[in-house]
């Protein structure tokens, strides 16, 4: 056994040799080469992770990520006793509690013997540097992360994710609740759709309108939803446009609700005065779902579409000032963008059809024009049946029907009078007095053309907004074909129009490639960018290094 003195001598000799070698290396080997050698050795001896993580972000560019939405629905059925935090909410109009995962919560699932770990991630989105930006209230990015052993990548992408999509669809169909969507400033991308349950009681059976016209509308709707193959065969987008026009109070909004209840379609209520420009309009319309009705009410007075190039005082807008234009709206109604969705209905309502640009009215944009007229005898009988339960004859019917032939009164006015009493004699008597009073007073003031003015016209609103350029991204097809077993994190998404999953590299993910014997190392870099003028670009500043 060596003595302690010999061991110490050997240690001292080895230390001196190492110091000498290090000094020679520092003098002979250039610094960049030394750094490269250290980095390469660190990469070779770095422990390899066996896990692959799929990231499902809430939005995929300008549209909702269908995989994220399906995951949210599916995971609510997988809450286990180990779950520690949940979000519980209920609005006044909802019948049941809404339960969602809290930030950072994990869910474990089992599929064909493979263990999968889900995690819900929320992070704050970066805000723009412009002090004039109106920052949204809830600026956060939300996503689900799915982690599993890399050897099961084919099973997860080929079987498990499609299973989650189908399971979520079945849950939605079973718990089908119509939704009413309106614009909200609660998303990190700016204006986004927010929803409540649509529980409007209007149906075609209770709608006070001409029976023949009502039947024509129902037949047109039923024919539309059954003709998917026909629209594909003739090369047209599967959509339908309806223009509802007539005086106020004639049931235009009730007809929209009746259409939604009849078809079981969600409703998107779009207020054009809230739209900053064509880019915002395109992004919002692309994020609407299939089997939906897009409603733009009072389009004649909600915004001044025909002439958007001048300010209200007549001065020309700055050249960079981008606003909503008529061409931008028309392009989505029947242009190339109109094909981005299936089974969609677009409804315009107006009190003054003659004020609309003729370009809005032609077939292919507004396919069916529906005139909602004043109350007639047939509509009155239906209202009397709905409000008073009178299904046959009443001694005041003849007098009321005679007055309706001479007086212009809206169904809303008749309904309001019938609601004043549950006694048919009192309610109908009050209606007779109303009609006689209107007849004595005349039909109202007359304008310079001799036409009756029912109500004071709504002033048109001209909106000064600032726009933004449209940014486009290009898919990195080559890199997606180079996914290796060393890849640890990927992004997956699916829009309603995609047949297959879209797979992309996650932020900071690296990949090694070889070309003609040369080793090439790729790194994907993504940084959030904020835009001015109260706008957020949904894409990030992305690059490959």
Give the per-residue pLDDT at 141. 83
| pLDDT surpasses 90 at 416 | yes
CA-CA-CA-CA dihedral for 372, 373, 376, 378, to nearest 10:
-20
Which residues have CB under 8 Å from 101's CB, separation 6+? Answer: 72, 75, 76, 83, 85, 86, 87, 107, 120
Q: How far apart are the C-alpha atoms of 498 and 184, rounded to whole Å?
A: 26
CATH number given to 192-371: 3.40.50.300
For β-strands 179-187 and 266-269, DSSP reports them as: parallel
**Structural domain boundaries in the chain:** 51-176+473-506, 192-371
pLDDT 10s digits, 175-224:
778 889 988 765 545 677 888 888 889 999 989 888 899 999 999 999 99
**Cβ atoms 381, 394 nearer than 8 A:** no
Dist CA 359 CA 352 (whole Å): 15
Token pair 């047939």 is found at 378
Q: What value does the mean pLDDT take over residues 138-158?
A: 87
Does residue 89 sit in helix, strand or coil? strand
User: pLDDT tens digits, residue range 242-296?
Assistant: 999 999 999 999 999 999 999 999 999 988 887 878 888 888 888 888 889 999 9
Kindly indicate the confidence band of residue 302, based on its pLDDT and cuts at 50, 70 and 90: low
| CA torsion through residues 90, 94, 99, 103, sign | negative
pLDDT in tens, 61-77: 767 788 998 999 899 88
pLDDT tens track for 378-407: 999 999 999 999 988 889 999 999 999 888
Give the 3-state secondary structure of residue 467: coil
At 39-64, the pLDDT tens digits run 776 666 666 678 899 999 888 776 77
The Cα–Cα gap between 11 and 99 comes to: 66
Over the stretch 88-140, which tens digit does the pLDDT of each residue have? 888 776 777 778 888 888 899 999 999 999 999 988 765 554 433 443 444 57
pLDDT, tens digit, 9 for 90 and up, residues 125-137: 655 544 334 434 4
Q: Of all helices (H) and strands (E), which one includes residue 268? A: strand 266-269
The answer on pLDDT for 324 being more than 60 is yes
Query: Whole-model pTM?
Result: 0.62
Per-residue model confidence as pLDDT tens digits over 475-517: 456 667 777 777 778 888 877 667 777 888 777 777 777 777 7
Q: What is the pLDDT of residue 242?
A: 94
Residues 282 and 340: their CA atoms lie apart, in Å, by 10
The neighbour count for residue 121, using CB atoms within 10 Å, is: 15
Q: Which helix (H) or strand (E) covers residue 184, if one does?
A: strand 179-187
Average pLDDT over residues 8-36: 79
């Amino acid at each position: 056994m060596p003595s302690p003195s010999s061991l110490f001598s050997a240690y001292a000799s080895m230390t001196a040799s190492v110091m000498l070698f290090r000094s020679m290396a520092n003098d002979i080997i250039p610094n960049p080469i030394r750094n490269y050698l250290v980095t390469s050795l660190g990469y070779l001896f770095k422990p390899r992770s066996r896990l692959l993580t799929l990231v499902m972000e809430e939005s995929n560019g300008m549209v909702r990520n269908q995989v994220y939405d399906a995951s949210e629905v599916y995971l609510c059925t997988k809450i286990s006793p180990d779950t520690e935090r949940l979000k519980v909410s209920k609005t006044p109009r909802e019948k049941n509690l809404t339960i969602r995962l809290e930030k950072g919560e994990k869910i474990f699932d089992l599929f064909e013997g493979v263990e999968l770990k889900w995690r819900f991630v929320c992070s704050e989105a970066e805000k723009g540097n412009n002090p004039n930006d109106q920052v949204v209230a809830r600026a956060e990015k939300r996503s689900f992360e799915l982690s599993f052993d890399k050897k099961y990548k084919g099973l997860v992408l080929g079987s498990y994710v499609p299973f989650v999509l189908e399971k979520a669809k079945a849950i939605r169909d079973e718990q089908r609740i119509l939704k009413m969507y309106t614009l909200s400033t609660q998303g990190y991308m700016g204006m986004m759709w927010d929803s409540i349950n649509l529980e409007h009681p209007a149906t075609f059976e209770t709608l006070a309108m001409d029976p023949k016209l009502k039947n024509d509308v129902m037949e047109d709707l039923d024919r539309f939803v059954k003709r998917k193959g026909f629209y594909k065969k003739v090369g047209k987008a599967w959509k339908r446009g309806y223009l509802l026009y007539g005086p106020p109070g004639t049931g235009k909004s009730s007809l929209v609700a009746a259409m939604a209840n009849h078809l079981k379609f969600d409703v998107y209520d779009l207020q054009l005065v809230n739209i900053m420009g064509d880019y915002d309009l395109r992004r919002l319309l692309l994020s609407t779902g299939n089997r939906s009705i897009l409603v733009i009410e009072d389009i004649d007075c909600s915004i001044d579409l025909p002439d958007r190039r001048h300010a209200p005082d007549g001065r020309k807008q700055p050249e960079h000032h981008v606003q909503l234009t008529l061409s931008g709206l028309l392009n989505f109604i029947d242009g190339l963008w109109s094909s981005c969705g299936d089974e969609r209905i677009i409804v315009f309502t107006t009190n003054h059809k003659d004020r609309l640009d003729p370009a809005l009215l032609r077939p292919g944009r507004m396919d069916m024009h529906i005139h909602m007229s004043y109350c007639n005898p047939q509509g009155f009988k239906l209202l009397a049946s709905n409000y008073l339960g009178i299904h046959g004859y009443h001694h005041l019917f003849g007098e009321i029907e005679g007055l309706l032939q001479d007086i212009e009164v809206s169904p809303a006015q008749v309904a309001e009078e019938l609601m004043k009493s549950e006694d048919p004699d009192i309610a109908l008597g009050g209606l007779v007095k109303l009609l006689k009073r209107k007849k004595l007073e005349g039909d109202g003031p007359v304008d310079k053309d001799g036409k009756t003015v029912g109500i004071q016209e709504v002033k048109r609103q001209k909106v000064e907004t600032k726009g933004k350029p449209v940014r486009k991204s290009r898919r990195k097809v080559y890199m997606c074909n180079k996914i290796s077993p060393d890849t640890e994190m990927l992004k997956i998404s699916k829009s309603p129009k995609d047949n297959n999953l879209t797979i992309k590299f996650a932020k900071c993910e690296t990949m090694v490639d070889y070309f003609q014997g040369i080793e090439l190392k790729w790194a994907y870099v993504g940084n959030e960018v904020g835009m001015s003028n109260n706008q957020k670009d949904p894409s990030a500043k992305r690059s490959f290094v």
